[in-house]
Amino acid sequence: MEIRETQKRSISKAITYRLLATISTFSLAYFFTGNLELASQIGVLDFLIKFALYYLNERVWNQTTWGYRK
């Protein structure tokens, strides 16, 4: 029996991972700039771009059997 992730699971994983990573990016941007508005803009852009890339990466990997044991 072959187990594959659903799109809902991939999206949930992408969102939770990106939230944690965006908090880190926002914190660093605020630390270095001292500007809350700029740090927020960087955080939002970081989230959107990397969320899309992570989701696509998950879906591509879900289409391959490489690395699965039989």
Q: How would DSSP label each residue in 15-56?
A: HHHHHHHHHHHHHHHHHHH--HHHHHHHHHHHHHHHHHHHHH
Do the domain assignments include residue 25? yes
Do the domain assignments include residue 50? yes
Do the domain assignments include residue 51? yes
Separation of alpha carbons 33 and 40, rounded Å? 11
Do the domain assignments include residue 54? yes
10 Å CB burial of residue 18 (0-12, 13-18, 19+) is: buried
pTM above 0.75, yes or no: no
Region of 34 please: left (phi>0), alpha (psi -120 to 50) or beta.
left
Q: What is the pLDDT along the chain (70 residues), one digit of tens a residue?
A: 566 778 888 888 888 988 999 999 999 999 999 999 999 999 999 999 998 998 899 889 888 888 777 7
Do the domain assignments include residue 20? yes
Please give the residue range of the domain that contains residue 37. Answer: 7-62
Number of domains in the chain: 1
Do the domain assignments include residue 2? no
